């Protein structure tokens, strides 16, 4: 019982000291509070429109017939693009493209209507910026939609001209009806796709950077091994690490409420799962990130080193989570390295809970893995701090 009271006292002292160090350090506050809240908010505002629409394009109509004008109108009526200019030749359109006045060029050849009348296949040319994937995708989709609708109309007219009724013409033109169901993101919104996973990564990375800054500042002042005046860390490392961890956890409970509840409501991100299940999953994730941060924070002798190293890691971690590239397509070595970071398991598990609405039992593997990570990084942090305290004590001996 006496040991429990001592441990509780050390835990409380460590918790209070860590909170004091955090709120006294403007740089740490900037990362742990301002950045953790501002980044998700700014990104959410940026992706608020969710889909790219009315991309400016040029249509070069070399045919100048009723058919070509109808096709041009159909292209302009799509959600994806807007025909803002109709240059007289391809060279003029190219110059507008180089000037970034338009982001795509559609060329209608001068024999379009003639080929349609003869019953021959026509063709249009599409030039779009493949160096910018979203622009390319939207321009291509618009062209495919417009030409598909136009071609269907031409074919239906032929069937009617040959004596078929309108319904028969429809059936002949479209004998197989395909129904599309966009699961979990019906509108195909980019913000709804990227933001849920990105928020998790932001929470993790701001935690790691902030904890690294605190650790680097402690190394500079040579006080990382001190619990309180006269008490060295080696006498209560387990309680100290828990105290420090709960200090960061208490801040990120508030950050999580802002990013995972309020932000979702403001920007209408998909929310199909149980909030209770999300809370259960967040606990091992946050503690895993905190304990990992505490373990590696002792590697930095200066606070600036932690910022450089951990910010450098951020795009790599984003890539390894599978948000920008499927995990299954990653080389084996990278796939294994990815599991060092809690976000690797957290992002897919969180998306399945929040976006797909699965039960906590359906993410059993990820939850168990995060729990094991939390325990492992906790003991790793304890060992790291005890080693630092021992090293400090050795230096203090005459």
pLDDT digits (tens, 9 = 90+) for 262-311: 998 888 888 888 889 999 999 999 999 999 999 988 887 777 777 788 77
The domain locations on the chain are 2-48+189-396, 55-173
- What's the pLDDT score for residue 236? 67
Give one DSSP letter per residue of 320-385, joined into a string.
HTTSSS-GGGS-HHHHHHGGGSTHHHHHHHHHIIIII---GGGGHHHHHHHHHHHHHHHHHHHHHH
- What's the pLDDT score for residue 37? 92
Tokens of residue 240, six digits = 């100290």
**Average pLDDT of the segment spanning 108-116:** 82
Q: Is the pLDDT of residue 221 over 80?
A: no
Q: Are 10 and 240 in contact (CB under 8 A)?
A: yes
pLDDT digits (tens, 9 = 90+) for 318-357: 888 888 777 778 887 888 888 999 999 999 999 999 888 8
Q: Are 397 and 310 in contact (CB under 8 A)?
A: no
Distance CA 150, CA 143 (A): 10
CATH architecture assignment, domain 55-173: 3-Layer(aba) Sandwich (3.40)
Token pair 């294994």: residue = 336
**Average pLDDT of the segment spanning 192-220:** 86
- 340-363 burial, b at 16+ Cβ within 10 Å, e below that, comes to ebbbbbbbbbbbbbbbeebebeeb
- Helix (H) or strand (E) holding 128, with range, is strand 125-128
């Amino acid at each position: 019982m006496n040991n429990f009271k001592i441990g509780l006292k050390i835990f409380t002292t460590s918790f209070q000291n860590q909170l004091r160090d955090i709120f006294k350090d403007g740089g740490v506050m900037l990362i742990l509070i301002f950045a953790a809240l501002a980044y998700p908010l700014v990104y959410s505002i940026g992706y608020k429109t969710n889909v790219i629409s009315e991309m400016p394009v040029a249509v070069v109509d070399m045919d100048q017939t009723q058919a070509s004008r109808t096709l041009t109108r159909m292209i302009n009526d799509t959600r994806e693009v807007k025909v803002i200019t109709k240059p007289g030749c391809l060279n003029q359109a190219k110059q507008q493209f180089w000037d970034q006045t338009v982001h795509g060029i559609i060329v209608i050849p001068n024999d379009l209507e003639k080929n349609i009348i003869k019953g021959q296949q026509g063709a249009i040319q599409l030039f779009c910026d493949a160096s910018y994937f979203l622009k390319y995708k939207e321009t291509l989709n618009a062209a495919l939609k417009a030409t598909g609708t136009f071609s269907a109309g031409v074919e239906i007219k032929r069937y009617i001209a040959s004596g078929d009724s309108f319904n028969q013409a429809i059936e002949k033109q479209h004998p197989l009806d395909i129904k599309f169901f966009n699961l979990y993101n019906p509108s195909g919104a980019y913000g709804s796709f990227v933001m849920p996973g990105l928020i998790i990564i932001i929470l993790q990375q701001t935690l790691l950077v902030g904890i690294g800054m605190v650790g680097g500042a402690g190394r500079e002042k040579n006080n990382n091994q001190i619990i309180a005046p006269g008490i060295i860390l080696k006498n209560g490392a387990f309680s100290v690490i828990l105290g420090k961890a709960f200090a960061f956890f208490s801040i990120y409970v508030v950050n999580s409420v802002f990013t995972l509840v309020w932000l979702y409501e403001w920007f209408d991100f998909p929310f199909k799962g149980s909030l209770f299940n999300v809370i259960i999953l967040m606990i091992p994730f946050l503690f895993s990130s905190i304990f990992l941060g505490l373990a590696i924070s002792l590697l930095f002798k200066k606070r600036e080193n932690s910022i450089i190293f951990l910010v450098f890691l951020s795009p790599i971690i984003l890539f390894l989570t599978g948000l920008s590239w499927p995990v299954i397509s990653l080389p084996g070595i990278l796939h294994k390295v990815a599991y060092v970071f809690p976000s690797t398991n957290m992002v897919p598990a969180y998306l399945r809970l929040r976006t797909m609405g699965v039960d906590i039992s359906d993410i059993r593997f990820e939850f168990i893995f995060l729990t094991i990570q939390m325990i492992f990084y906790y003991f790793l942090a304890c060992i790291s701090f005890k080693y630092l305290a021992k090293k400090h004590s050795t230096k203090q001996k005459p």
